[in-house]
Amino acid sequence: MPQEATKQRWTRSPSVWAAEKDPMNPIDRNGSGASPRKKYDETYKRHAVELTLHGDRTVKTVAKELGIPAWQLYDWRKLYAPRPGGGRPAPQTLEEAEKEIGRLRSELIRMREREEALKKSLGILSEPPERGMPRLRR
């Protein structure tokens, strides 16, 4: 008999024992023994992300202060943080979109030319040298 009482005592955490003893503070369980999942609205998530972006605190510090896991705050940052290079607003009219397309096409041409020049310079530098010392030609 004493062994069965010991097993039962260790299968429950102290917080469960306290909740069972205190009828004024019950723990809401969903039947599986786990606590119900907390749900946060979008404004709370955006505010949490803003706290990580502005200021000198790390993401882990902010997550600890808010009482949420750091991985969850990192996920929220993926969703709600501004994207790098996203400083330009989307074109509103057809003319603005055509100007943006022209600008992007010219930038693409410049980048391709730059890539070709780099490939040629890499090819010249990576050629194997001729055997021996170069001869003096007269």
User: What are 21-68's pLDDT values in tens digits?
Assistant: 555 555 555 566 677 778 888 899 989 999 888 878 899 999 999 999
Q: How many CB atoms lie within 10 A of CB 40?
A: 13
pLDDT at 56: 84
pLDDT of residue 125: 72
Phi, psi of 81 (to 5 degrees): -75, 145
Report which of 72, 29, 17 is spatially closest to residue 48, judged by C-alpha positions: 72
Cβ 79 vs Cβ 44: under 8 Å: no
Per-residue pLDDT band for 85 (boundaries 50, 70, 90) equals low
Residue 3 pLDDT greater than 80, yes or no: no
Q: Is the pTM of this model over 0.85?
A: no
Average pLDDT value for residue range 7-32: 52
Flag whether pLDDT at 8 surpasses 60: no
**Residue 124 has what pLDDT?**
74
Q: Where is pLDDT greater, at 123 or 69?
A: 69
| The pLDDT of residue 74 is above 70 | yes
- The mean pLDDT value of the chain amounts to 77
Give the span between the Cα atoms of 50 and 68, in whole angstroms: 15
Helix (H, G, I), strand (E, B) or coil at 27: coil
118 vs 31, more confident: 118
pLDDT of amino acid 72: 92
